[in-house]
Structure 1
Amino acid sequence: MKNSTRLSAFALGIISTVLLACNPSNANKERTANFTDTTTDKKPQQAIPYKLLSGEKISLPNELLEISGIAFLEGQDEEIYAIQDEQGLLFKYHLPTQKLTFSQFGKDGDYEDIGISKTHFFVLKSNGSVYSFPMADKDNIQAVAEQKDILPKGEYEGLYVDKAANLAYVLCKECRVDKKQSQTTGYIFSIGTDGKFSPKGEFAIQVDELKKLDPKIKKTFKPSALAKKTDSNEWYILSSIDKALVVTDENFKVKSLTPLDPKLFPQPEGINFDSKSNLYISSEAGDQDKGIIYKFEK
């Protein structure tokens, strides 16, 4: 009887194998169904037009070990302007030659992001102060204006300057105003001819929209940088803590959330686009020995 049972089981195994070989898609369908069952609470996401696992890696000199923000002059894609979060220095990194030069604009401090209008450079400090100086002085910075108390008390890491609209966008990392509501607030400023910021409005990213895409997102979302993709009017927003790249529409409604590999991006703190809409993400060294910029072609 035992032999008969074993023969029957063996025969059934052979039949199952033959059927699976004839129609292998059945196994895939089952796996897909199981995966779908576990993700029914998530919104479908729109794929971004960049492959974040196959970018061009640019290892930076030791001076940019703690790189925290990047920007381009209009139409000049071979030079990246950068800051790091310990010294008041404006760095210029020439990509083809890997030559690094710098000019001092302030004392040592916690500088988080950089933006460039058609007339001025702007550097955001973590306490919300903004430093500005004329573009003409970028190689020998002399006159620096510090704008204090233009933002509510909080911690800030994200600044983006829209050259065409002459507007500046500053995004909270952690602000008191967001403690009792599930959102991350940002502030819009118009830019005067002298480089001064004037309040223009506010915007917000709804954390509940992010949690639908990634339940690991907590009550607060802590962005480290933002940039506008001008050919699609989308916002690309980094969160170093969450190891995520968030894309929103022009009104900051969330469209997608892409996880970032911590091995590639130990501390992603800077983001921007060149004139061809190629994406650049910079990361502090973290446990690695070099600060990094990745270039992702569209």
Structure 2
Amino acid sequence: MKNPTILTTMALGLASAIFLACNPNNTAKENNNKLAHVQAEKPQQIPYTLSSGIKMSLPDELLEISGIAFLAGQDEDIYAIQDEQGFLYKFNQPTQKVTFNPFGKDGDYEDISISNTHFFILKSNGSIYSFPIAEKDDIKNVVEQKNLLPKGEYEGLFVDRESNQAYVLCKECKVDRKQPQTSGYVFSIDEHGQFQLKGEFAIQLDQLQAFDAKIKKTFKPSALAKKADSKEWYILSSVDKALVVTDENFRVKSLSPLDPKIFPQPEGINFDSKFNLYISSEAGNQDKGIIYKFEQK
């Protein structure tokens, strides 16, 4: 007679094999759950230390700074807007001085971006204001483009110079009330700076919740910028006090919390030609608007 211990082991092994054969998805589901858990616990590390940047305090004119941008290859001057007046500001980093030129009436202006030919400024209702780069010091020919976007509140605009496409991201839009996502829209840009709708994209809420369970209903972005060397999107949410990084197709790769003592109201984000990261913050409870520069590691 064979050893009973061996027979018992063989019987258990056979039973396990039959169970797995009848339930082929169990192991895959378990592995997928483990993988998702690991990804949420160990997100990709961004190449910046957000707790230690170069701080630039801004003059009173930019107390409510809401967007920042650079001309291609010109890193010394940061172009900015604020969300109360229709002025284009230029902040020179070496001298810390600000100059400005009017482009429109008072209004709720939320973001700024620059193509190879034009400046573009986003109003919270989705209207886009544009004018040629050549007029930046004496702005005359401003074009307002209305009804480009569904009704909603918008704070994020970025122009990808390589593709000559503009990306606009909802902060809070009616279309997202019944689905767990934050919607965005892609526009082609013609030689006159006119936008034409080309497509749509979305950031999925469940991907964000894998990194931060506190994001319950909607993600409310305040700015976005594309890091050209990695093709990743860096997306700010002032409400959620978070910096989200996605891949080129807006799939979430990481979420970094933002210290409210450093970023009281983060509203603007961009990169210079060396891929240093800049984040601007409205004053909030502080007495100055701020821009932080984070050098790439």
The answer to whether TM tops 0.5 is yes
Q: Which runs of 5+ in 1 are unaligned?
A: 1-38
Which of 45, 49, 52 aligns to 1:51? It is 49
Give me the whole-angstrom Cα distance separating, in 1, the residues matched to 2:132 and 2:49: 36
Cα drift, residue 42 of structure 1? 3.2
**Is 1:187 the equivalent of 2:185?**
yes
SS at match of 1:193: coil
2:17 matched residue in structure 1:
none
SS at match of 1:80: strand
SS at match of 2:175: helix
Cα drift, residue 52 of structure 1? 0.3
Give me the whole-angstrom Cα distance separating, in 2, the residues matched to 1:65 and 1:166: 31
One-letter amino acid of the structure 1 residue matched with residue 76 of structure 2: E
One-letter amino acid of the structure 1 residue matched with residue 171 of structure 2: K
SS at match of 2:158: strand
Please tell me the root mean square deviation across aligned C-alpha atoms, in Å.
1.2
Which of 110, 113, 120 aligns to 2:111? It is 113
Which of 256, 259, 266 aligns to 1:268? It is 266
Give me the whole-angstrom Cα distance separating, in 2, the residues matched to 1:44 and 1:272: 25
Give me the whole-angstrom Cα distance separating, in 1, the residues matched to 2:198 and 2:131: 21
Cα drift, residue 40 of structure 1? 7.0
1:71 matched residue in structure 2:
69
Cα 1:42–1:57 shift into 2, 3 Å: same
Identical positions, percent: 75
Counterparts of 1:1-298 in structure 2, within 5 Å, are: 42-298=40-296
One-letter amino acid of the structure 2 residue matched with residue 66 of structure 1: E
TM-score (norm 1): 0.86
SS at match of 1:72: strand
Cα 1:40–1:46 shift into 2, 3 Å: closer
SS at match of 1:270: strand
Q: Deviations over 1:25-69 (max 9, x none)?
A: xxxxxxxxxxxxxx7793530010000001000000100000000
Cα drift, residue 225 of structure 1? 0.1
One-letter amino acid of the structure 1 residue matched with residue 196 of structure 2: S
Cα 1:42–1:274 shift into 2, 3 Å: same
Structure 1 stretches of 4+ moved >4 Å: none
Cα drift, residue 226 of structure 1? 0.1
Q: Which runs of 5+ in 2 are unaligned?
A: 1-36
Give me the whole-angstrom Cα distance separating, in 2, the residues matched to 1:64 and 1:234: 28
Give me the whole-angstrom Cα distance separating, in 2, the residues matched to 1:69 and 1:240: 12
Give me the whole-angstrom Cα distance separating, in 1, the residues matched to 2:217 and 2:249: 21
TM-score (norm 2): 0.86
Give me the whole-angstrom Cα distance separating, in 2, the residues matched to 1:55 and 1:73: 22
Q: Deviations over 1:238-261 (max 9, x none)?
A: 000000000000000000000000
Give me the whole-angstrom Cα distance separating, in 2, the residues matched to 1:99 and 1:281: 18
Give me the whole-angstrom Cα distance separating, in 2, the residues matched to 1:265 and 1:220: 21
Give me the whole-angstrom Cα distance separating, in 2, the residues matched to 1:154 and 1:127: 6
Cα 1:40–1:111 shift into 2, 3 Å: same
Paired residues, number? 261
Cα drift, residue 207 of structure 1? 0.7
SS at match of 1:48: coil
Cα drift, residue 89 of structure 1? 0.3
Q: Deviations over 1:119-177 (max 9, x none)?
A: 00000000000000011000010010000000000000000000111000000000011
Give me the whole-angstrom Cα distance separating, in 1, the residues matched to 2:152 and 2:216: 18
SS at match of 2:235: strand
